[in-house]
A and B are shown apart, each in its own frame.
Chain A
């Protein structure tokens, strides 16, 4: 994919989508593109145009009240994470160490794999590609990036843990379980990197001291928190508890 072609395609909503951002292999060419001003300004420009009536809105998506709805819920969150880490790796924050870069690149690979898996598993039931809104994140700042990463990882863990009881198919439950523990591993390492030499890796209130239990969040709680980072309107018909 050459740069001109990509620039041209960025004018459509579809190609600024989280999936497409996330699923692009980080070839040298793409890396250069992302690390330059172009990709960042494209994202920022789109953020500015959020309320512009002349810009076509990102397509609304609906989560159905069944296992497909749960998987699409996961797919939406994984799209968000994958796009985020893809941007983090493409435009590393100031002062990033080699080990931090390796760690964040590993996580990017995992999240992109989750996205691709869920998309394939859902097939024709998959919701479309979502459009990120990262205007609140300063990708040059270690604190901003890792704080956002912690938010996303903890949110992901609480989302899977909270919604799992509504999954009807044991195979889908197992698939969710295979992903959520990897997200929890990410969360611990991100927390450690943000607050080294503390108990942050599994500290309260995220992990309750008295019970040793992780946090659960309902679908509405998670979507409310994630909404800040996603342009599309997500309507959920999943249970609210």
Chain B
């Protein structure tokens, strides 16, 4: 059921891209009207006025889609952490909590609380807007073997601390990329963009802490699972996709960082670490899909 919702969202994305390009041209028209002289502006004004309600509506639809997408991912994370700390009977499916040492527990406990709060925040916002399409998870929603990649036991992701933290790193680093991948759809959104970004940076804090627990650097090191210390089946978390650069990218907004004199002595690795990369929904949902039944 969740999967159906995800595919429904993918379809919506296609529609949204078209809506967005129309939106851009409308927005440009308004900006031009603002820049030109009063005479031109007066002539354009009626057109602008008739467009305004449509812009508001289009943005709201786009925001709703992004929020449902975010909620789907937050459900996965919240379920994962709540099972881990033994706080999820409705989704645990008989899987017990993972045994964590004190050093990991203090971090996992706080992350679990944050992810639970993210779910509530996003879900409440969508309910209030009468636009909730992301399904609530049940005991049958998730596949904690990652399609067998983690083993055959249904609780494989929670078998031990090391396995659990490896999956946690993959989830957090994916989450950071996922929010970035859709931020562009919220350009100029005064309400939901700040919320999405405030979740995004908290996911990055989580990612850094989990990585540190695993003996990794807090920042993403290179564009492969190997270079980030995770198993090969999570390579998509760090690699380039059809439409997103990999985490080893060193060209930002058309600027080739390696060509800048101030950075001439810098390694490509450092330049790649300095910028996190987005990931589009198709690839994010393919990664998340490993954990869906």
Contacts and interface: CB of A to CB of B under 8 A. Distances in A.
B262 A177 contact: no
Given A106-B219, A117-B255, A175-B252, A188 B208 contact: yes
Contact of B204 (A114, A168, A188): A188
Interface residues of A, number: 62
Interface in A1-57: 22-23, 25, 27
Contacts of B200: 177, 180-181
A199 B194 contact: no
Nearest to A102: B217
B57 to A, nearest CB: 19
B205 interface: yes
Contact of A198 (B106, B187, B195): B106
A199 B107 contact: yes
B208 A189 contact: yes
A164 B180 contact: no
Given A178-B277, A202-B206, A184 B201 contact: yes
B209 A202 contact: yes
Contact of B114 (A110, A111, A114, A207): A207
A106 B194 contact: no
A109 B217 CA distance: 14
A182 interface: yes
A161 B266 contact: no
B48 to A, nearest CB: 16
Given A113-B257, A172-B253, A184 B205 contact: yes
Interface in B122-148: none
A234 interface: no
Contacts of B117: 209-213
A110 B201 contact: no
Given A165-B194, A181-B204, A189 B212 contact: yes
B285 interface: no
A109 B275 contact: no
Contacts of B257: 113, 116-117
A149 B48 CA distance: 47
B59 to A, nearest CB: 12
Nearest to B110: A199
Contacts of B184: 170, 173-174
Contacts of B277: 178
A201 B103 CA distance: 13
A213 B278 contact: no
A179 interface: yes
B193 interface: yes
Given A165-B193, A179-B274, A186-B219, 14 more contacts: A116-B257, A164-B193, A164-B197, A172-B253, A178-B275, A182-B204, A182-B276, A185-B207, A185-B218, A202-B202, A207-B114, A212-B121, A214-B197, A214-B199
A121 interface: yes
A203 to B, nearest CB: 7
Nearest to A209: B113
10 nearest CB pairs, A to B: A212-B114, A212-B117, A184-B204, A23-B262, A188-B208, A170-B184, A181-B204, A113-B274, A110-B274, A184-B201
B253 to A, nearest CB: 5
B278 A184 contact: no
30 contacts: A27-B265, A109-B270, A112-B266, A113-B257, A116-B260, A161-B198, A164-B193, A165-B194, A173-B187, A174-B184, A175-B252, A177-B179, A177-B197, A178-B180, A178-B278, A179-B275, A180-B197, A184-B208, A185-B204, A186-B219, A189-B218, A197-B102, A197-B103, A199-B110, A201-B107, A201-B205, A202-B110, A202-B205, A207-B205, A209-B117
Interface residues of B, number: 64
A160 interface: yes
Interface string A212-232: 111110000000000000000
Given A106-B217, A116-B263, A160-B197, A167 B270 contact: no
A180 B176 CA distance: 10
Given A113-B274, A120-B255, A212-B113, A186 B218 contact: yes
A120 B252 CA distance: 10
A113 B262 CA distance: 8
A113 B263 contact: yes
A177 B212 contact: no
Interface in B246-293: 252-255, 257, 260, 262-266, 270-271, 273-278
B49 interface: no
B253 A177 contact: no
A94 interface: no
